[in-house]
Chain A
Amino acid sequence: MKNYVYRDLSSKKYTKNEFFKYVEKKVLKTVRNYDLIKKNEKIVVGLSGGKDSAVTLYLINKLFSSRISDISALAVDEGIKDYRDKTLLDAKKLCKDLNIPLKIFTYKKEIGVKIDKIAHLGNPCAWCGVFRRYLLNKTARLIKADKLATGHNLDDEAQSIIMNQFKGNVAFSAKLGPMTGALAHEKFVPRIKPLYFLTEKEVLIYSKLRGLNVNYVECPNSAGTFRDKVCEMLNSMENEYPGTKQGIVNGFLEILPKLKEMYKGQKIGSCKDCGEPAVKNKCRKCEMVDKLRLKKLL
């Protein structure tokens, strides 16, 4: 009797090898249809040591190493005790196994503070997200990467679309999609999401079956956040109405070109403090740094 490991939305069952082909075909199709990786490009992967970014690194290396000129990994240590220190061990091991160079940057050194020290201010994910995007973009640019690949999957994207919709942040949604960014700027490294059409469950199964030695724990700061609530709601809907997340993302992709067009005219300049891209005269990272200075946390 065959051992099946996955059943898709049409109830088709997959054995382990069939599932590998299914996942890899989906990633190849995403990269090809959205032109995410061009020939001879230098790709850097934002690696946390969790399953999503580990699978991204593994698959780019497996499927595109003959097409690209170089692959490396960047990791950010936010300073979250008993979480990031553990996942970074896995990140180091994975890079060693795949023979891919890894650079690690810390909030402590680059921003001046660990997330653990400011978590009491509330909504640590907001601080963390802004600092991470700043640091990944800056470091990817410094190593002259053409693209920064992240481990965002279908679940992440469906959550972001719904979160922006609930909060009325249409402009934020214009930055979503398999290749991010509504606005072009010489200091922006385009971010790509090769796992865009894979559900989080598919990514987990793939990482387990490939034996990727990664940490499967959740960030201790994510419980009870707005994203966490939307995630729960979507999982409940998905259980009752299979295909909900796929429907949200497919519907969104139909209107995304219009959204990008709408926000194309917005001017983007440079932050007067750090020189990084900014819509206002200061970037969000520097605004947050100012707040931390006022609170004497920096």
Chain B
Amino acid sequence: MQIRVLIERENKSKDINIDKSVDIKKLLESLKINPVTVIVAVNDEIVLEDYRLKNKDNVEILSVVSGG
């Protein structure tokens, strides 16, 4: 399965090959991103860490920390 991941803080997107059973929690672990510091949207919808990724999902990892 392939997904597209945009990491907002690094301002870069990349295609990643993943196993079928990967959820957001596992994806963040593999990217070494602390889940407290981000929210994740898949195909423009905010999702929780237990969301199971599907082929061709478009994932955005948005940074929580910003000036306000």
* A interface list, Cβ under 8 A from B: 3-7, 13, 48, 50-54, 83, 87, 151, 153, 200-201, 203-205, 208-209, 215-219, 222, 231, 235-236, 238-239
Residues of chain B in range 53-68 having any CB-CB distance to chain A below 8 Å: 62-68
Chain A residues with CB under 8 Å of B49's CB are 7
B37 at the interface (CB under 8 A from A): yes
Chain B residues with CB under 8 Å of A215's CB are 66
Chain A residues with CB under 8 Å of B37's CB are 235
Chain A residues with CB under 8 Å of B65's CB are 200, 218, 231
B8 at the interface (CB under 8 A from A): yes
Given contacts A3-B45, A4-B48, A7-B48, contact A216 B34 (CB under 8 A): no
Chain A residues with CB under 8 Å of B63's CB are 216, 218
Interface centre among B8, B36, B46 (most CB of A within 10 A): B36
* B interface list, Cβ under 8 A from A: 8, 34-37, 39, 41, 45-49, 62-68
A216: contacting residue among B41, B45, B48, B62, CB under 8 A: B62
* In contact, B36 and A205 (Cβ under 8 angstroms): no
A48 to B58 alpha-carbon distance, docked (Å): 30
Q: List 14 A-B contacts (CB under 8 A).
A: A5-B48, A7-B48, A48-B68, A50-B68, A53-B68, A87-B67, A151-B68, A201-B36, A201-B39, A203-B68, A204-B62, A216-B62, A218-B63, A239-B36
A53 to B62 alpha-carbon distance, docked (Å): 18
Chain A residues with CB under 8 Å of B35's CB are 239
A110 to B39 alpha-carbon distance, docked (Å): 38
Additional 5 contacts, C-beta under 8 A, given A48-B68, A200-B65, A238-B36: A7-B49, A13-B48, A50-B66, A208-B41, A216-B63
Question: In the complex, which residue of chain A has the Cβ closest to the Cβ of B38?
Answer: A201
Chain A residues with CB under 8 Å of B62's CB are 204, 208, 216
* In contact, A200 and B64 (Cβ under 8 angstroms): yes
